[in-house]
Chains A and B, each alone.
Chain A
């Protein structure tokens, strides 16, 4: 790829493209009104981040990012978005404008603070590391050796999450006292019946006469 460029320039070009893609798709996630489009933008964001991981010589994490995130987590997200349908859309009530402005100020302040703090030092590209820096062997030696406790805690957390998802997804409704109102219920005013339906009701209302004979005949049949 990009064979006509010198080696370090290739690195720069790939970095710039991946960084712009990551930032643009993240903006797409936040600003898009449609949850489906947001999810698709996040997939693009994750793939761009995997490219950045590759530039940092973290091969295994880049692969895990694409497989676990873009492959598994986001597919689940898309399934749930499709299951919820229109209910997943953004509620149309508008926020007060000062809230958006305050969010913008907070986000810009935080990001620029970090950038100023880090940008004052030239960290450089780091020491030269062997090609096996981000290999599965290296990471597993560290994960299953020195950080074994973190590994076990992670596995327990994943199991708790799985059990919690099963409990949340079970069909049984929560026990409720009689007369309690569902706190999530929408307040809908009782519908008034239209004149047309009332007239239809009167017109199709026939008197039924019970003769007393029909009941016995039904039983015989």
Chain B
């Protein structure tokens, strides 16, 4: 077996599907954030695999940008979760519909 780039893309697709399943089925905001992390990381894997396939560093550069996006998203998401918990809210995304007030 020769492990080509397509195997990495397959792993990336499976991880993306798992993250998608998590987004659809879970209700706790923390686990939703973790599922988004899985999806972003699977995109990173695809970017890096294609960068290796093309022999250029542009894909790796953009993977770094995606890491920064993921870090910002975690910061804001965790801030929201803590702010909601401080108001004695039920941490259930089905009942948290409005950001105002």
Is A23 interfacial (CB 8 A cutoff)? Answer: yes
What per-residue 1/0 map shows which CB atoms of A96-114 lie under 8 Å from chain B?
0001101110111011101
Size band of the interface chain A makes with B = 35 or more
Chain A residues whose C-beta falls within 8 Å of the C-beta of B7 in the assembled complex: 15, 19
B10 touches A168 (CB 8 A): no
Q: Give the secondary structure class of A's interface.
A: helix
Given A89-B28, A150-B65: A107 and B18 interface contact (C-beta under 8 Å): yes
Which of A49, A99, A121, A157 gathers most chain B CB within 10 Å? A49
Q: Give the secondary structure class of B's interface.
A: helix
Pick the residue among A49, A84, A123, A150 that contacts B81 (CB under 8 A). A84
Chain A residues whose C-beta falls within 8 Å of the C-beta of B1 in the assembled complex: 12
Pick the residue among B3, B11, B98 that contacts A12 (CB under 8 A). B3
- 17 CB contacts below 8 A, A to B, read A11-B3, A29-B18, A39-B30, A45-B38, A49-B44, A53-B48, A61-B48, A64-B64, A73-B71, A77-B78, A90-B31, A91-B28, A107-B21, A110-B20, A127-B55, A168-B76, A168-B79
**Which A residues lie at the B interface, using CB under 8 A?**
8, 11-12, 15, 19, 22-23, 26-27, 29-30, 35, 38-39, 42, 45-46, 49, 52-53, 55-58, 60-61, 64-65, 68-69, 72-73, 76-77, 80-81, 83-84, 87-91, 93, 95, 99-100, 102-104, 106-108, 110-112, 114-115, 118-119, 121-127, 129, 133-134, 138-139, 141-143, 146-147, 150, 154, 157-158, 160-162, 164-165, 168-169, 174, 176, 180, 182-186
